[in-house]
Amino acid sequence: MSNVTAVTTFILVGFSDVQELQTLCGVLFLVMYLAALMSNLLIITLISLDLKLQTPMYFFLKNLSLMDVFFVSVPIPNFIVNSLTHNSSISILGCALQILLMTSFSAGDVFVLTAMSYDRYVAICCPLHYEAIMSDGACVLMAVFFWATGLFLGVIYTADTFSLPLCGSNVIPQFFCDIPSLLRIVCSGTMMVIYTSFGIGLCLGLSCIICVVISYFYIFSTVLKIPTSKGQSKAFSTCLPHLIVFTIFIVTACFVYLKPSSNSPTITDRLLALIYTLLPPALNPVIYSLRNAECKCALRRLLQNVFSRGSLHLTLKKA
């Protein structure tokens, strides 16, 4: 196979060749996917409907949940269908679309998490200027920036990856299309083409990590000066969940994308990719929102409104 244009389909390597185990994997993935999907959609609904959650922090959280919904919905449903139908093929267009969308949404996740750290920095270190700095216009501009920049990175990564000629088989050693797996089957002498896009992505990623580290350095310095332990506890309760989410996402991404490539990928590589794909979207609502008192109150108000409207509808119907 001399060139990617000669390929019409790729073969994805799942977690097992046994049909019964493929079906079991499909069912397990379906349960995990639905849990991640419903929890993030719940957060989006709460923030959209509850007026008390119309703040910059929850605006960015809604964007994070929205990106997580898209991110987890790119590879997982396709894998579920493949597992239940015992069909492991994917078209070249479907493969390119997976890489484009996953790169865009994962980059967007990093930008959103960086913006959230800046929001916490302003709220804790510059509280008197918070409303002026984190105005509605500034938040919207930041949202437009990280959605557009994520899409830009996705486009250049996809274009560079699919411009490389293939020298191996059309078997992708992963349960979805990703760049590290595709690079294992391209000609080794053509790798310079993608180094530019990798360099851009690496610089942006390191910039985000540096921004988060600097923000939390000033945040922790300020919080430790708060005289009361109650004030410190309240400040930490809003910052530590974000730091946990950011760390989980960055660490799992580094394991997937920066781990030394091997000629014979193992089940461990696919498990790491599974953790990177499913764990952050599933944990974000739990870490960020379901332990958050404001979100719990918003959920309670939403349920009360739903039940009260339901009761009123039944009463009117009987009357």
Residues 6+ apart with CB under 8 A from 112: 60, 63, 64, 67, 146
Output the pLDDT for position 231: 67
Question: Model confidence over 24-83: pLDDT tens digits?
Answer: 888 888 998 998 899 899 889 888 888 888 888 889 989 999 999 999 999 888 888 888
Average pLDDT over residues 267-282: 78
Output the pLDDT for position 4: 45
C-alpha neighbours within 13 Å on the C-beta side of residue 218:
15
Tokens at 51, concatenated: 């007026």
Distance between CA atoms of residues 62 and 118, nearest Å: 16
Query: Which residue has better confidence, 306 or 26?
Result: 26
| Global pTM value | 0.84
Output the pLDDT for position 237: 72
Burial zone of 120 (CB within 10 Å; 0-12 exposed, 13-18 middle, 19+ buried): buried
Q: Please list the residues that pair with 48 across neighbouring strands.
A: none
Query: Which residue has better confidence, 83 or 259?
Result: 83
Residues 6+ apart with CB under 8 A from 308: none
Output the pLDDT for position 312: 52
Q: How confident is the model at residue 2 (pLDDT cuts 50, 70, 90)?
A: very low
Average pLDDT over residues 167-193: 75
Residues 6+ apart with CB under 8 A from 76: 29, 32, 33, 277, 278
Q: Where exactly are the structural domains of the chain? A: 8-309
CATH of span 8-309: 1.20.1070.10
Tokens at 78, concatenated: 């396709």
Residue 309 has pLDDT above 70, yes or no: no
Average pLDDT over residues 282-289: 76
Sheet with 9-12, strands from edge to edge, namely 89-91, 9-12, 171-172
Report helix, strand or coil for 135: coil
Output the pLDDT for position 289: 64
Integer distance in angstroms from the first to the last C-alpha of the chain? 74
79 dihedral zone (left: phi>0; alpha: psi -120 to 50; beta): alpha
Average pLDDT over residues 243-251: 80
Distance between CA atoms of residues 176 and 15, nearest Å: 11
Output the pLDDT for position 70: 92
Task: Report percent pLDDT > 90 for the chain.
Answer: 14
Q: How confident is the model at residue 195 (pLDDT cuts 50, 70, 90)?
A: confident
Distance between CA atoms of residues 179 and 167, nearest Å: 15
Output the pLDDT for position 291: 58
Average pLDDT over residues 189-198: 68
Question: Model confidence over 145-177: pLDDT tens digits?
Answer: 989 999 999 998 888 888 877 776 788 878 888
Residue 112 has pLDDT above 70, yes or no: yes
Q: How confident is the model at residue 274 (pLDDT cuts 50, 70, 90)?
A: confident
